[in-house]
Structure 1
Amino acid sequence: MRPPAPRAEVEAWLRTHGWHPEHADRAEAERLIAVRVRDSVRQGCPLEPWEAVTDFVGRYAGLRFPMPLAPERVFLPHPALGYEGDAEDIAGLAADLDRRLFPVGYETVEAGLVLLDDLGRFFYLHHTGPYFLGGDEAQALSSLMRGDQDEIDAYYA
């Protein structure tokens, strides 16, 4: 994985699409997370969020972030979006990583899920398999902006 984009570049991308440092929609984040929790229970693989999940979703809820190199691809910080059977896929990856995982977003064209673990790392669950997006929010946003991801092998427990 190449080094993350400069913070100013990532922030400019976010701001271009409506984000600002004061953007916070905790109520919408809690609503979206509750939808996801109910759906995971319906699927038979309950997912449990924690405070960092709500914080992340709340910082970006309601916004859309087209990827500059492929604007048809859009990152949506919307944990309720997914596909049938995704809760089992998330639970399987969580077991492989020996960490809790919860979806915090969705990529529109590839139908990939952006996942946060309980260490603050971000992963991308794609139909071709799981990938690593970054060790923290800044690196993950840079990866989403650039369309970067890394092989996940080094992160398995």
Structure 2
Amino acid sequence: MRFPSTRQEAEAWFRRYGWSPERDIGAEADVLVQKAREQAAEYGVSYVVSEFARDFIRSFGGLRILFDDSPENHFVAKPGFAYKGGAEGIEEFSGELGESLFPLGFDTYDGAVMLVDGRGRFFLMHHTGNYYLGDDALQAVTNFMTADMQDAEDFYV
């Protein structure tokens, strides 16, 4: 399987899974945001929802995008986290960046969580560390899929 290497190829790839530049799930995005906030509250954590988080969820929310050759490895664009301890990890990562992060979704292989801050920077929280994915939503999802990322420590305060 060959992964997208250009923006056009990435757009074509994601369209196969229901995404388009015009996609807007409307009020359903608010429901997804609320569920993520409730999930975090169970662990005593709260999230700030930026315009970047809302825009991403309106565009990608609810999608399940194949990430590699393994049919079990998808990015699930469902705000929240896959594993216990995710809320605390996001809170700690937010502190390291000096910016609130909001979880946008996770991969089904190892539960890595894609996040965005209030400045529109996309990050990944993975068991191997924290990573920067980019400042553009489509590019960030592509970078997550292709593991093209840089260490987030470069962005710590």
Q: Same fold (TM over 0.5)?
A: yes
Q: Deviations over 1:106-153 (max 9, x none)?
A: 111010100001111111111222111112223202202323222222
Contact 2:124 2:144 (C-alpha < 8 Å) held by counterparts = no
Amino acid at match of 2:53: V
- Structure 2 unaligned regions, length at least 5: none
Tell me what 1:142 maps to.
142
**Count of aligned pairs between the two proteins:** 154
Distance 1:69 1:136 in 2: 25
CA shift for structure 1 position 38 = 1.2
Give the AA of the match of 2:85. Answer: G
Output the CA distance in 1 between the equivalents of 2:69 and 2:151. Answer: 21
Letter in 1 for 2:127: H
Give 1:71 deviation, angstroms: 4.6
TM-score (norm 2): 0.89
Give the structure-1-normalised TM-score.
Answer: 0.89
Aligned partner of 1:57 in structure 2 is 57
Q: Distance in 1 between matches of 2:7 and 2:15?
A: 12
Q: CA deviation at 1:85?
A: 2.0
- The 3-state SS of whatever aligns with 2:57 is helix
Shift of the alpha carbon at 1:62? 2.1
Q: 1:69 deviation in Å? A: 5.0
**Other-structure match for 1:89:** 89
Q: Say which structure, 1 or 2, has more relative contact order (CA 8 Å, 6+ apart).
A: 1
* Secondary structure of the structure 1 residue equivalent to 2:23: coil
Secondary structure at the counterpart of residue 8 of structure 1:
helix
Q: Give the 3-state SS of the residue equivalent to 1:72 in structure 2.
A: coil
User: 1:68 deviation in Å?
Assistant: 4.1
Q: Identity, % of aligned pairs?
A: 36
Find runs of 4+ consecutive structure 1 residues off by over 3 angstroms: 68-72
Give the conservation status (yes or no) of the 8 Å contact 2:114–2:122: yes
Aligned equivalent of 2:118: 118
Coordinate RMSD, CA, aligned: 1.8
